[in-house]
Amino acid sequence: MNAQVAIDTILLDLGGVLIDVDYHASARAFHALGFEEFDALYSQAKQDHLFDGFEIGALSPAQFRDRIRQLFRQDLTDREIDACWNAMLGSVPPQRIDLVHRLKERYQVLLLRNTNAIHVPAFTEILQRENGVADFKGLFNGAYYSCEMGLRKPDPAAFHHVLERHGAKPERTLFIDDSLQHVIGARTAGSMRSTWNSPGRM
């Protein structure tokens, strides 16, 4: 990679970069209901195919909830499942929203998030309630969710899909994510520069 090539696009993750996320909180919430094996199925570093399918929109929220019931307890309500699943979602410190605005003064700022149809309305509501942000996607030059794209990180196709939509070159793009496997995936997508952000450091 030519070290002299300037960055003109920044590609951000959401969880652990903009919004605080506690991946263990959902496991603790399910544990409280007696589902002690949940963290063997889902963590920041790895997850069962159930969650992969949900994140690319191959499963609907109803199908996801039914699968959780099959794995655990048939008497769980939709509300209980959603509350446990959304427990990992925290707040967005206002300075991170300010940082996005400042970055947009110099760069094309894009968002690429592995997420699902239960988390999307949940974090959208958090941002509106706590930050007064009514149009979260409107904060960026482009924002993409895996459950809407049918692609997820670390698949190189997910990165190419987003960059091509905005005429961005991998070698002129800086990707920031809190999951090492996604950073590795970004590097295989071309000459994309990438960094592994410790949660909450940005």
Let me know: does 161 contact 144? Beta carbons within 8 Å.
Answer: yes
* Residue 128 is assigned to a structural domain of this protein: yes
Number of domains comprising the chain: 2
Instruction: Round to whole Å and give the CA distance between 87 and 192.
Output: 32
Residue 170 within any structural domain of the chain: yes
User: From first to last of its 202 residues, what are the pLDDT tens digits of the chain?
Assistant: 445 679 999 999 999 999 999 989 999 999 999 998 888 787 655 566 888 999 999 999 999 999 999 999 999 999 999 999 999 999 999 999 999 999 999 999 999 999 999 999 999 999 999 999 999 999 999 999 999 999 999 999 999 999 999 999 999 999 999 887 888 888 888 756 666 554 444 4
At 16, is the secondary structure helix, strand, or coil? coil
Q: Answer for the pair 83, 29: CB distance below 8 angstroms, yes or no.
A: yes
Q: Do residues 40 and 62 both lie within one domain?
A: yes
Indicate the pTM of the whole model.
Answer: 0.88
Residue 47 has a pLDDT of 66
Instruction: Give the C-alpha separation, 129 to 14, whole Å.
Output: 17
Residues 17, 197 contacting (CB under 8 angstroms): yes
